[in-house]
């Protein structure tokens, strides 16, 4: 019996991977402009990091983690997201003591969630995320949002919708929490088991329930916006002012609560508005998490960030019909005729490559016509033909595939010749 790929995972093959690389490169370039530096953390962490950081009552922790015991009896979990790990590293490596503050970090790598696979929802997916730690300024919230928006825009996406909300500070959240409990308590029996246990532990999570989302009490639930204290309101107003200043259109949605527990103040999601995108339209999610560093055992540190998956990014590009030039082809294909010439191209190929030229030769003993076909498939800009006769005369025949022009050049000057040509 053959062994297949696990459910909810993907192989990304040549031909597809180039688009991934392009997005990854754009993301890195943009991070450099915005001055975010890369951090790489382990793929697995102590389970407690996520149960404390992401939150015990969240779907992620309750249902979606890949948790296992290692041979030493420790409970470890494949990371379901990148924020908790980043903040753990920030605390553990005492980055709050860095001279440069705020500390602005980004990461790119696989995350794991045991979710029901469907279009746009995988069990292993790649997140690109940024985290800015150490600043209370709403201008950095606006910066983080603008980084995500600009990445999408640079790749050509137009049908984007930014939704923002404020979850307020501790005081506002406590007031809202009481209001939620009062609202749901009398009829909590009509809700699912999860919601019933959420009522006292974390009633905000009820608003995020996928089972009971159409219950009438959901629509009439007290909105956090009405419970924001003056300080939280002022923070949210400032953010909106900055987004307007940055020309980033947004909608305020008081029902946006996000699926992770660490948020306060700013919460946001970027959705695709493209027709035919499918049921899951959230491309990117993020927000502020001022208490998280403390929760993990560090000093009080404000933080804000977002994460987006490359899988949904690509789905959005497809939904908008955006095709990017991702296979520009190789610079030079070396075609050879006869044993001696073939042998010679082994060294010549190396010289081309070491000179910074992308180059290929035949490894299947193909006839010259088939070698030209192979060069075509590789989209070669130049095909250099070396026969016994050329070799004896220390020459090589170079064909420009765009114009059809052919020239004979000295073998000794061949690499420099290709280097000097338009590539």
Q: Which residues bind ligand HAM (CB under 6 A)?
A: 81-83, 113, 115, 121-122, 125, 127, 129, 131, 259-260, 282-287, 289, 305-309, 311-312
Nearest Cα to 27, choosing from 162, 157, 147?
Answer: 147
Question: Of the two residues 287 and 298, which places its CB atom closer to ligand HAM in the complex?
Answer: 287
Structure tokens at 38: 């890369």
Cβ 110 to ligand HAM shortest distance, Å: 11
Cβ 18 to ligand HAM shortest distance, Å: 20
Question: Of the two residues 235 and 306, which places its CB atom closer to ligand HAM in the complex?
Answer: 306
Structure tokens at 379: 């989209």
Question: Of the two residues 113 and 198, which places its CB atom closer to ligand HAM in the complex?
Answer: 113
Beta bridge partners of 252: 164
Q: Tell me the residue number closest to ligand HAM, measured at CB.
A: 305
CA geometry: angle at 246 spanning 241 and 248, to 5°?
90
Question: Of the two residues 259 and 329, which places its CB atom closer to ligand HAM in the complex?
Answer: 259
Contact call for residues 287 and 173 (beta carbons, < 8 A): no
Sequence-ordered list of residues with C-beta below 8 angstroms from that of 242, at least 6 positions apart, any chain: 138, 139, 141, 142
Tell me if residue 390 falls in helix, strand or coil. Answer: helix
Nearest Cα to 348, choosing from 422, 423, 420, 416?
Answer: 416
Cβ 276 to ligand HAM shortest distance, Å: 18
Cβ 60 to ligand HAM shortest distance, Å: 7
Question: Of the two residues 90 and 414, which places its CB atom closer to ligand HAM in the complex?
Answer: 90
CA–CA distance, 394 with 197 (Å, rounded to integer): 82
Question: Of the two residues 116 and 187, which places its CB atom closer to ligand HAM in the complex?
Answer: 116
Contact call for residues 51 and 120 (beta carbons, < 8 A): no
Contact call for residues 344 and 394 (beta carbons, < 8 A): no
Cβ 375 to ligand HAM shortest distance, Å: 38
Question: Of the two residues 63 and 351, which places its CB atom closer to ligand HAM in the complex?
Answer: 63
Cβ 262 to ligand HAM shortest distance, Å: 8
Structure tokens at 97: 């003591």
Q: How far apart are the first and last CA of the chain?
A: 48
Cβ 346 to ligand HAM shortest distance, Å: 44
């Amino acid at each position: 019996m053959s062994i297949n790929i696990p459910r909810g995972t993907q192989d990304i093959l040549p031909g597809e991977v180039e688009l991934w690389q392009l997005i990854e490169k754009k993301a890195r370039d943009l991070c450099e402009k915005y001055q975010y530096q890369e951090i790489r953390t382990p793929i697995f962490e102590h389970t407690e990091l996520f149960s404390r950081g992401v939150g015990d009552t969240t779907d992620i922790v309750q249902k979606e983690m890949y948790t296992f015991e290692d041979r030493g009896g420790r409970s470890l979990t494949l990371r379901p997201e990148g924020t908790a790990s980043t903040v753990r590293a920030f605390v553990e490596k005492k980055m709050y003591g860095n001279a440069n503050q705020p500390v602005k970090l980004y990461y790119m790598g696989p995350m794991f969630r045991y979710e029901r696979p469907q279009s746009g929802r995988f069990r292993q997916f790649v997140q690109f995320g940024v985290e800015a730690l150490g600043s209370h300024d709403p201008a950095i919230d606006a910066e983080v949002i603008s980084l995500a928006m600009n990445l999408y825009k640079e790749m050509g996406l137009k049908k984007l919708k930014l939704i923002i909300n404020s979850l307020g500070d501790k005081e506002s959240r406590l007031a809202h929490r009481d209001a939620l409990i009062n609202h749901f308590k009398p009829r909590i029996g009509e809700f699912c088991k999860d919601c019933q246990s959420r009522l006292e532990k974390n009633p905000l999570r009820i608003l995020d329930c996928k089972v009971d989302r159409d219950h009438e009490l959901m629509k009439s639930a007290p909105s956090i916006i009405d419970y924001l204290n003056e300080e939280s309101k002022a923070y949210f107003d400032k953010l909106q002012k900055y987004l307007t200043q940055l020309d980033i259109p947004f909608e305020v949605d008081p029902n946006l609560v996000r699926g992770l527990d660490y948020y306060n103040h700013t919460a946001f999601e970027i959705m695709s508005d493209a027709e035919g995108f499918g049921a899951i339209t959230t491309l990117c999610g993020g927000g502020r998490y001022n208490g998280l560093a403390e929760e993990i055992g560090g000093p009080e540190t404000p933080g804000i960030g977002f994460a987006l998956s490359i899988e949904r990014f690509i789905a959005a590009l497809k939904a908008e019909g955006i095709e990017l030039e991702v296979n520009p082809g190789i610079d030079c294909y070396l075609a050879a005729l006869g044993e001696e010439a073939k042998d010679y191209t082994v060294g010549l190929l190396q010289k081309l490559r070491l000179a910074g030229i992308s180059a290929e030769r035949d490894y299947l003993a193909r006839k010259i016509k088939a070698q030209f076909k192979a060069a075509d498939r590789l989209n070669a800009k130049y095909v250099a033909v070396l026969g016994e006769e050329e070799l004896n005369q220390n020459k090589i025949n170079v064909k420009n595939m765009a114009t059809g022009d052919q020239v004979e050049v000295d073998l000794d000057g061949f690499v420099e010749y290709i280097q000097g040509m338009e590539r």
